[in-house]
Structure 1
Amino acid sequence: MVRTSPLTFRKVLGNFFVVFALTVIGSIYTSLFKVYWPLKSDPKIMAFIITFHIFFLLMMLCFFKAMLTDPGVVPPLWGFYMGDSETKRRRYCLMCHVFKPERCHHCSACNRCVLNMDHHCPWINNCVGFYNRKYFLLLLFYVNINTYTVALFLFPQISNELCLLYQTKHMPNSSQTLFLGTYTLNCMLSMTLTIFFKFHLKLALSNSTTIETMDKKAVSKVNYNKGVNKNWEQIFGKNPWLWFLPLTGDSGKPIGDGVVWTVPINIEIDDIPEDELEKRNSSVMNDMNKKKDEESKSKEISTAPDSLGSRTEYTRNFYHPEVKQNSGRIGEKFTDDVLLSPEP
């Protein structure tokens, strides 16, 4: 049975953060709408209004998807059983009374354990975890697009308002104050969220999380980085058509279940240059063929006395090297008995 989590004070307080965020979004949207909607007869302005509303709609969809999607809960029957590897890290949550999988952490605000937890975001009043991390990253992406758009297209109007106030030596009225304040807030958001988005994008491309980055126990850190492409697909899925949409579908879901994680080797085969692979393969094949020729010539039947004085026939064979799967990579000593091939 899935454990129900009682509401905490931080969870209730998060509702006010959500209302405040929606209020700020509405104020910025109203300021832009008030300036450009009267000019909708101009085809260029109308094209801008339509384009802006497409990105605005995507931003709002990502906001609600990130807020309402369950980031991931520990499966009811998951735990440690007989036969499990002794090297498996046993982590038990004293609050939820469950064993925590890798990269799973307990959130004190949500009062539950979250799979692949990145952090708890008060602005969506939800944790960013395995199943809603895509929506959170897309939310930051579209927020940046919209805030920069507002800053760019409202700049001429802001300049005119400031010049008019300077020439008339008048104090701004309530409408002008709200307009200037909203524009200033929008610019501050754009600069702040740009840094925030850059930070989280870097984490996503390295298959890391905020909690793992802040972990001071560097010795216990595990590298889950599988390369930029696989790290991206880990969060956004394998379907490129769904990468920038707040949708998942069967091919747009994050890869895996958020419980079991694979640790990559030092470097992937396809990270080795193609010409280097050809040289290695050619050298290995030549050495293996040469050894086979020597083996066929030197194989002979010999006799040797044993401890009882009798004679036993035996065949002297040379060692046949096996092809090792993980040898010959960068960072490891390359051996002659390895044949590498790029991944398909």
Structure 2
Amino acid sequence: MTPGGGSGPMKDCEYSQISTHSSSSPMESPHKKKKSVPKRKWEVFPGRNKFFCNGRIMMARQTGVFYLTLVLILVTSGLFFAFDCPYLSEKITPAIPAIGGILFFFVMGTLLRTSFSDPGVLPRATPDEAADLERQIDIANGCSSGGYRPPPRTKEVIINGQTVKLKYCFTCKIFRPPRASHCSLCDNCVERFDHHCPWVGNCVGKRNYRFFYMFILSLSFLTVFIFAFVITHVILRSQQTGFLNALKDSPASVLEAVVCFFSVWSIVGLSGFHTYLISSNQTTNEDIKGSWSNKRGKENYNPYSYGNIFTNCCAALCGPLSPSLIDRRGFIQPDTPQLAGPSNGITMYGATQSQSNMAAATPLLQSEPSITSEELPLPGKTSLSGPCATLTLGQPTPPSSMPNLTSDSGLTDIIPLKEEHEGHQFLTPEEAPSPPGMLPSGSPIAHSRTMHVLSLASQDSLHEDSVRGLVKLSSV
């Protein structure tokens, strides 16, 4: 049939050649394994947080109030720059929009820095660390069998002569450091926890408190600045056209004045409160609980205060910024195979530390008696000239009827040379077929002393089978 002269259905048929070559070995799965892309730590972060830009931005899960904060600042400032600043720069001075712009950008920068950063989240304990800590608590409570533990779990440390209790976090499985607390909304332990602020959409802690304070302080100045010059704008217009006409000519100024009037009191009051906290080196959490109040005792005092307002302010605002402890953009390290050294006759191949510990506790993976050359009976030979290496678990064990071929003298006794057996008749391959693992059919082996000698290839295959079996037992 010519290429162009077929019937209609035959033209639609397509044929593909089936490849008979397979890159996978018989012991491996025929399906191609997809390359696993390594995950970053923020993708499996246990806390209730949201991450953006590949983990660079970290926020709380509830961010609705944060967007309201952004809208209020952007809308109020935008109306001020669009409707009030042109008139004020013409009638008074061009410095008004310049100062307003500097305050606006400073407010937005500190707000985003507070909202998008790690507040000082403490990493949770690993399973091994948690188990070790539980064991220590059991021993301290006199209950080594894991029974009833008297709550609460606390430790006491002395800081500047003041006894401070460290509480145990049942969620993070750690003893919280001094001044740390667990945020119920973010489900994280935060170092030097101040409070959870929904207006910034994040916790306020050790790593972003200074930015939070600069945000509310600069926002106070911006609110007072806008409110003052909006009133000035309305007064100047009312002198020319009357008060009602001035309100009709600039309705945006009325909206700005209302927003600033109702927000300035809370913002300025919040700034004053945190100024007091910084000057006394306290946190909002400590002040609400009265941790260092004199009502708890005459000897109760704040061990973190330097005794000087200026020094306390410098420590809170000008000290070095501690690095993040959670490494949210780092990659999760998989369990890399490690070759463990032989212990009690056990050789672990490709096993991790946890698998080695499991193997030590599993009866199936315990050491077996090693087989030496003395336990292998040799026909016509009582001993070998060289020592035989010990065979441990995970290596192929030859049959008991097979002699160990580690010395040249043993090979010469078992496999005679061709000149010594010229008169003997040898079997043909058809008469005495040899399975894989025997010596080639061309080798002169006497029929009276035929031995099954394992080749190097068969030993490697048996070694691979035993290793795979051991790995399967370790992964159960």
> TM-score normalised to the size of structure 1?
0.59
Question: Cα distance, 1:68 vs. partner?
Answer: 1.1
Rounded Cα–Cα distance in structure 1 between residues aligned with 2:211 and 2:276: 16
The one-letter code sitting in structure 1 at the alignment partner of 2:107 is: M
The one-letter code sitting in structure 1 at the alignment partner of 2:99 is: T
CA deviation map 1:73-95 (0-9, x unaligned): 2256799889xxx7423311112
Secondary structure of the residue aligned to 1:90 is strand
Question: Cα distance, 1:46 vs. partner?
Answer: 2.2
Rounded Cα–Cα distance in structure 2 between residues aligned with 1:26 and 1:257: 30
Matched, 1:200 2:279: no
Structure 2 unmatched ranges of 5 or more: 1-40, 51-58, 138-154, 158-164, 326-476
Residue matched to 1:133: 209
Distance 1:51 1:43, change over 3 A: farther
Distance 1:165 1:44, change over 3 A: closer
Greater helix percent: which structure? 1
Secondary structure of the residue aligned to 1:113 is strand
Contact kept? 1:92, 1:100, Cα under 8 Å:
yes
Matched, 1:5 2:85: no
Question: Cα distance, 1:31 vs. partner?
Answer: 2.2
Contact kept? 1:106, 1:113, Cα under 8 Å:
yes
Question: Cα distance, 1:122 vs. partner?
Answer: 0.3
Question: Cα distance, 1:58 vs. partner?
Answer: 0.9
Rounded Cα–Cα distance in structure 2 between residues aligned with 1:24 and 1:230: 35
Contact kept? 2:181, 2:189, Cα under 8 Å:
yes
Matched, 1:231 2:312: yes
Question: Cα distance, 1:188 vs. partner?
Answer: 2.1
Question: Cα distance, 1:99 vs. partner?
Answer: 1.4
Contact kept? 2:166, 2:178, Cα under 8 Å:
no
Residue matched to 1:152: 228
Rounded Cα–Cα distance in structure 1 between residues aligned with 2:249 and 2:183: 43
For the aligned residues, what is the CA RMSD?
3.7
Rounded Cα–Cα distance in structure 2 between residues aligned with 1:112 and 1:119: 12
Secondary structure of the residue aligned to 2:94 is helix
Structure 1 unmatched ranges of 5 or more: 239-252, 259-344
Distance 1:54 1:43, change over 3 A: farther
> Which of structures 1 and 2 has the bigger CA Rg?
2
The one-letter code sitting in structure 1 at the alignment partner of 2:263 is: L
Matched, 1:27 2:59: no
> TM-score normalised to the size of structure 2?
0.44
CA deviation map 1:92-150 (0-9, x unaligned): 11122221011000111111111111111001111111110100010011101111111
Secondary structure of the residue aligned to 2:189 is strand
List aligned pairs for 1:155-304, cutoff 5 A: 155-159=231-235, 176=251, 178-216=252-290, 218=293, 219=296, 223=302, 224-226=304-306, 227-237=308-318, 253-254=320-321
Rounded Cα–Cα distance in structure 2 between residues aligned with 1:23 and 1:257: 30
The one-letter code sitting in structure 2 at the alignment partner of 1:235 is: A
Secondary structure of the residue aligned to 2:115 is helix
Question: Cα distance, 1:71 vs. partner?
Answer: 1.1
Contact kept? 1:36, 1:45, Cα under 8 Å:
no
CA deviation map 1:322-344 (0-9, x unaligned): xxxxxxxxxxxxxxxxxxxxxxx
Distance 1:215 1:61, change over 3 A: same
Question: Cα distance, 1:185 vs. partner?
Answer: 1.2
